[in-house]
Amino acid sequence: MNKTIWISAAVCYGLFLSWYFNWSGPLNGQEIDRAMAAFEASTGSEYTDLDDLRAFLEEDDGEEFVMANLVRLHQEDVPHPVSGDVMPPATVVGEYFQPFMKAMFLRGGHPVYQARISGGYIDSWHVDADPRFGIAAMIRY
């Protein structure tokens, strides 16, 4: 009985480790080229600096990282980027976030922290005027 518990725990921990960590290392040149070509063909890529994205992928070491996301939603309804239907910005973000996080979770990514901003800047160095972010979130990639 005791042996079964320890073997089960070891198997579960092994499965967790295989899911949570990247065992394949950083992307190689061909993988980066394929990813860039697919991204450039997708809608919305015109809002991303492709040189910065390529540099990020080339310099990536394949290890986990946590990205801070500072979000400011429009106050008025916005057109959906695919359908063009006008809807609340939170709905548009939700339609993106749900399938994105499902795909991230399958690869070991997950939210670390999320909160609504409740006050203004207390202190800032080398930052432009307060952009009035409404949400701060951190996601482990």
Q: pLDDT of 19-72, one tens digit each?
A: 999 888 899 999 999 999 998 888 777 778 889 999 999 999 989 999 999 888
Q: Confirm whether 28 is domain-assigned.
A: no
Write down the pLDDT at residue 46. 78
In a domain, 136, yes or no: yes
Q: pLDDT confidence of 133, banded at 50, 70, 90?
A: confident
Provide the number of structural domains found in the chain.
Answer: 1
CA dihedral 100, 127, 45, 80 (to 10 degrees): 60
The residue type at 30: Q
Return the sign of the alpha-carbon dihedral for residues 22, 28, 31, 37.
Answer: positive
11 within some domain: no
- Asked, for residue 79, whether it belongs to a domain, the answer is yes
Domain assignment present for residue 48? The answer is: no
Q: Is residue 121 part of a domain?
A: yes
CA dihedral sign of residues 29, 33, 36, 39: negative
List the beta bridge partners of residue 71: 135
**pLDDT for 70-96, tens place per residue?**
888 888 999 988 888 899 998 998 888
Residue 35 lies in a domain: no
| Contact between residue 71 and residue 139 where contact means Cβ atoms under 8 Å apart | no
Q: Which tokens go with 112?
A: 């670390």
Q: Supply the range of the domain harboring residue 75.
A: 64-141
In a domain, 118, yes or no: yes
